[in-house]
Amino acid sequence: MMSIRAHALLGLALLGACTATPAASEAIPLPPPHAAWDYQIGGAYPPPDGVEVVSRDHGDDPASGRYNICYVNAFQAQPGAEDEWGDLLLRDANGDIVYDEDWGEAFLDTSTGAKRAGIADKVNAWVDDCADKGFQAVEPDNYDSFTRVPDGLLSAEDNQALIRLLSDHAHSRGLAIAQKNTAELAGAREANGLDFAVVEECGYYDSECGLYTDAFGDHVVVVEYTREGLDRACTGWGDELSIVLRDVDVSTPDDEGYVYGTC
């Protein structure tokens, strides 16, 4: 999960693939717009009253009676999980693994078709678990990893090629698939087969919410990590979008730092 990220040029929004992947058909349900929601990727717990949409880690079960989004870390390795990825980890010119310094996560190498296929095999196995458990959608995180690696080791085209593999598979299992952050590629969402957006801090970054609504309409769910960001998001988009305030560690109510709020 990335709450602070680099912003690439908005001109990248025009990037797309020559072979377009259609978005989900109308038979695949999307999260209900402007619904109360909760971001529970740090641990599952009973949703607060009125919550209709919940995002949880693929290792957890969906929340009964809600629209459930399944979180998978698709472009980076979880801390300590490097051995699970082998030669799919991104390495620099010295052969050293490249890490996201904010979160201690190794970047995955999306730079070749063979490596993208290897990553997709593993991530799509999680997607299968999500479908088998009864989730309605999948949220592949760190789509914007290409903006945070040094020396141009990855490109927007690389990550879009991987997301298309994931969207094809999600749709084949009857799941909607979210674009996670990455406002600079929102304009290419149809070519990449992305159905709705899960965005962090578009209120805090002020102008970003509009970039997502331009591409996805009101099918945008927003998590803010500061009161300032929540106030901005609610003032500008509170009548249209699903917005929640969470603590940056997305902890559970038993944790001292737990935060939950809405417009």
For 182-214, b/e burial (b = at least 16 CB within 10 A) is bbbbbbbbebbbbbbbbbbbbbbbeebbebbbe
Please tell me the distance from the alpha carbon of residue 111 to that of residue 153, in angstroms, as a whole number. 8
* CATH architecture group of domain 35-74+111-261: Alpha-Beta Barrel (3.20)
Contact 139, 70 (CB under 8 A): yes
The pLDDT assigned to 36 comes to: 98
pLDDT of residue 17: 37
> Token digits for 102?
């904010």
pLDDT value at residue 228: 97
At residue 26, the pLDDT reads 60
Give me the tens of pLDDT residue by residue for the chain, a chain 263 residues long: 444 333 333 344 334 333 333 445 568 999 999 999 999 999 999 999 999 999 999 999 999 999 999 999 999 999 999 999 999 999 999 999 999 988 899 999 999 999 999 999 999 999 999 999 999 999 999 999 999 998 889 999 999 999 999 999 999 999 999 999 999 999 999 999 999 999 999 999 988 999 999 999 999 999 999 999 999 999 999 999 999 999 999 999 999 999 999 99
What's residue 206's pLDDT?
82
- For residue 115, what are its two tokens? 């490596």
Strand-pair partners of 180: 198
Report residue 231 as tokens.
């106030």
Q: Give the sign of the dihedral formed by CA 243, CA 77, CA 130, CA 27.
A: positive
Torsion of CA 8, 13, 18, 21, to 10 degrees: 110
